[in-house]
Structure 1
Amino acid sequence: MGFVRNGSEKLECTALGQWTGRPPRCEAVACPGLAAPGRGRLNCTHWHGDFTYNSTCAFSCEMGFVRNGLERVECMALGQWTGHPPRCEVMRCPKLRDLEPILMNCSHPLESFSYGSVCRFRCTQGYFLNGTSRVQCQPDGHWSDKMPACQEEAASYFKQVLLYMGGGAVTLVALLLTGMFIALLIKRLSNKEEEKTLLNPISNLGAPGVFTNAAFDSNF
């Protein structure tokens, strides 16, 4: 098992003392040849010849790539491998998202957000970067650093505070002016009422236009 005859199945000795043919050879069954996967390596052990019965081949991948498939295959007696050769796929890092006020610019030499990808960060006007300005996807599928954040600059913050306080001050002034206007209006109305009272011809001292003096009247 695992070997095939290469030559005649039967030989006969002729009258001249010679065999009718040469003795056959038993050769190991051959499996299809294998090659290293892209971005990978192939390491084989051959007991009876290259890629033949009992040959074993192991696969590995370059740094930054991961094997997708079997690590090892073996050539069987029927001339077939125990499985399909694997593929080496690039290691991926978690996808990054840029949300304002942070701005991101990435370069991907292989695939999006994979080994070797580099992302740079900056902030919109009025904000400053808190953290690293550059991260790179490592061979183990992790970024070289945490994604930074954008924080509002102090000047911008105080500007907003002043705007807020300014709005409050305007409201306060408006309320004060309104109160003063109402007070003046009430005072003016009160003055008009007093003027009406002074100009009223009806007096509490007697009939209209007639003034009496009790002491003077008693003498007559």
Structure 2
Amino acid sequence: MNEKVGPKKWKSENLPGGQWNLPKLWLLTVVCFEFLAWHGVDCWTYHYSAKTLPWENARRFCRKYYTDLVAIQNKGEIAYLEKTIPHSKSYYWIGIRKIGGAWTWVGTNKSLSKEAENWGDGEPNNKKTKEDCVEIYINRTTDSGKWNDDSCQKPKRALCYTASCRALTCSGHGECVEVINNYTCNCNPGFFGPQCQYVVQCEPPLVPMLGAMNCSHPLGNFSFRSECAFSCLAGTVLTGSEVTTCGATGNWSTPTPTCEGMPATTLVPQETALYLTSSATYSPQPRGSTASLLGGTTNVTNDFILDLANGMHCDEVRAPERGSVNCLHALGNFSIHTKCTFNCSDPSTLVGASVIFCGELGRWTAPAPTCEALNLVLSSIKRGEYQPILIPLGVTVGAVSGLAFTIWLVKRLKKGKKSKRREDAY
């Protein structure tokens, strides 16, 4: 009758006749570390089976109770295992086997590299033609800590581990590598941080003059993999790349392009119109479409483009009498997109639009406003130039005067009635 794997009792080979009462599966050693305060305590533990098993059964055992068969990372891990794992005549299965003719780490499905090989002298030799699994010699007289290829059907102890790496240990942006007393994240390009939790960012590019920029941000504003596309106002040509991408090093793939003027003979066809918005975003639209131009609506054709190419301007505006004007010139003094803001000095008030723009065909969006004088008394009250006590005092005087007049009027009426009665008596 086959004995159940992982018994409650294990007979130590180093202590003759000795038996230890341990839980179902024996824990060889536990290596714990506190990686970061906010991530709590993680542990990387080694385990091995009490019974010997074929390689496939050994792996099932490890995957059922722990993580998998041990994947040897480096010589330091081998030295650690040599110090802590007891000698076994059958030795121990580890997580390497031949798949498709190549030695492969079964946990990661990665081929064994030359640098990671740790074969014993003359190994692997495929001595019995089907030696497709790998064992590790622990505390052996010769080749201790080395590997040997052997038949997968031979019974050996399963050498298992429990990983501290989890699916999201490296935020899904890196490879978690187990090391003794720790683990480390090898971050993918474009990510950094102890757990690859940060994404590389690029400086926001400048929008070209007479152009527009449209960006998409799959991982955050102007960060790794962000893409920006550029376009230019009709009548200008884009010089440089139309698209740039934020790279893993924090640099854009291409410099920001520019929008430069074209000769009149190379302008867009007459049937194409220009669509502008106050946010300086431009795109061609079919002729006859309604366009928004700095807050108004108009149809704009190539006549406008020619005027723009030749340097179109609006009439210069001056400060109104008893007022001031402040103008911002986006493309030149009093050219399209110039914005002028008007203010009046006290005591006067602004009549008209307080802000006007230089719009299509060199026309302002509204006439320049004027500043008109106000009544001085009302102006003083409006400015708050009065003594607050005068208001209640004036109200009181007015009320008393009104009351006195009312009393006088009542007395006069009563006196008139008495005189009339006397006359009637005679």
TM-score by length of 1: 0.46
Structure showing greater radius of gyration is 1
TM-score by length of 2: 0.25
Q: Select the structure that is richer in strand.
A: 2
Higher RCO, Cα 8 Å, sep 6+: 1
